[in-house]
Amino acid sequence: MLGEYSEMSLPEAHAVVERVAGAQAHWRNVPLNARCLLVKSLASILREKSHELSPVLTGEMGKPISQSRAEIEKCAWLCDYYADHFEELLTPRVVDTDASRSYVSYEPLGVVFGIMPWNYPFWQVFRFMIPALLSGNGVVLKHASNVTGSALMIHTILRQSGFPEDIMNVVIISGSKSSELIANQHINAVTLTGSEGAGRAVASAAGKAIKPVVLELGGSNAFIVLDDAHIQSAVHDAIVGRFQNNGQSCIAAKRILLHTAIEDQFMALFSKAVRELWVGNPLDESCYIGPLARPEFVDDLQDQVDRSVAAGAKLVVGGRSQGNMFSPTILTGMKQGMAGFDEETFGPVACVGTFNTLDEAIHLANATPYGLGVSIYTQNTERIEPCIKHFKDGAVFVNSILKSDPRLPFGGTGISGFGRELGEEGALAFVNRKTVYFA
């Protein structure tokens, strides 16, 4: 057993919120450069303690240990980026009007309630928490129950970095209690990364309480390979894009769409590479695919594979589960109406379909209620640039897998959610944009 934690009662959770609100009343007056120095210190501690932190992630949700270390490093990078740039992001914006002086200032909202998932136990927290703290807010974190140790570790390393004890704190509660906590008068904004169902519940509770909310939900992202693509590069990226983090990522390459002219060449290389993926103990440095985070996720994935095959898809590689392990899998012949095409698959299953024209590829990419992102592979970027506006997604990556970057806004459309994290937009997600006007 990795750890055992007692769930808080609702009054105990409300008490945590009140303590964070009390700390935030002082924190908002701490000079921004002092806050930035604390975030710099946090980046250093993340790097120093990576060997202690990464096994916690791997132990709680099965991420291969090398990818856990990479996640910790990415959090440190985010800390460095925002610490270096936040003063310019929060600088009041002067606006030329008929006033003697007018500008927009950016001030904290108060306490931000973050409801976070298990698949990136540190990264998902850091990408909202750091800009929220730097802009003068306090943070209450409700993490997924199977990564409670990660949540408490984040609180610990913030204290080690010099942050006030209660400017960020953790509530250990069920999802049902989260909606009730949103109504707390000291919660001023909410952010959720999670499922569509959780997004609907949280958005409803936030709307009822008239509080701003950012939702980053699922994705069924298209990975499009055109007939003029560099095939070996596309195959390499398809492996990473679909199978990293055991395939448990909202931005994974869920639907691989191949031009019929390169289908055979791509599939020969792709199938061989998938068969060679190392599956096993996630603490083994050579492991690329570890166990799924929970047993029920294996059952859900097996059901999607079975229903897709029953609808006419061809099982090329894998398709087997044992315990919490699911073998890297390829399904071909994927079309609309099949589970693997219409639903989000959250595990190491690559669903492959084909197209004949660029217009058809765009249509297939958009044939989903999700709208997180698209990857397109071509050696003729001038050809694809005019088409980018026809994708409904929040991001289009050309000759690259989808990825989150502290310098760029991240978020989706449709049932992938709304609002943005990261970049300038994420930095200002939880601020009061105050108009100031001197007649």
What's the confidence (pLDDT) of residue 208?
A: 97
Please say if 250 is a catalytic residue: yes
pTM above 0.85, yes or no: yes
Please say if 196 is a catalytic residue: no
User: Which domains are delineated in the chain?
Assistant: 11-217+416-438 (3.40.605.10), 222-398 (3.40.309.10)
Write the DSSP assignment of 272-313 as a string of letters.
HHHHT--BS-TTSTT-SB---SSHHHHHHHHHHHHHHHHTT-
Enumerate residues 6+ apart whose C-beta is below 8 A from 2.
59, 60, 149
Q: Where are the beta strands (DSSP E) in 47-159?
A: 93-94, 101-108, 111-115, 138-142
What's the confidence (pLDDT) of residue 1?
A: 60
Q: Specify the pairing of strand 329-332 against strand 314-317.
A: antiparallel
Of the listed 60, 216, 343, 421, which one is catalytic?
Answer: 216
What's the confidence (pLDDT) of residue 2?
A: 78
Contact between 392 and 414 (Cβ < 8 Å): yes
> Rounded to 5, what percent of the chain is helix, strand, coil?
45, 20, 35
Going from the C-alpha of 316 to that of each of 257, 270, 436, the distances in angstroms are: 16, 11, 63
What's the confidence (pLDDT) of residue 367?
A: 98
- Residues 249 and 400: their CA atoms lie apart, in Å, by 16
List, run by run, the mean pLDDT of 10-residue segments along the chain (439 residues). 88 98 98 98 98 97 97 98 97 97 98 98 98 98 97 98 97 94 98 96 97 98 98 98 98 98 98 96 95 95 98 96 94 98 97 98 98 98 96 98 98 98 97 98
Contact between 153 and 85 (Cβ < 8 Å): no
**Helices of type H across 169-213:** 175-182, 196-208
Four-point Cα dihedral 237, 240, 241, 245, nearest 10? -170
Of the listed 75, 250, 287, 351, which one is catalytic?
Answer: 250
- Counting Cβ atoms within 10 Å, is residue 322 exposed (0-12), middle (13-18) or buried (19+)? exposed
Tokens of 319: 């398709």
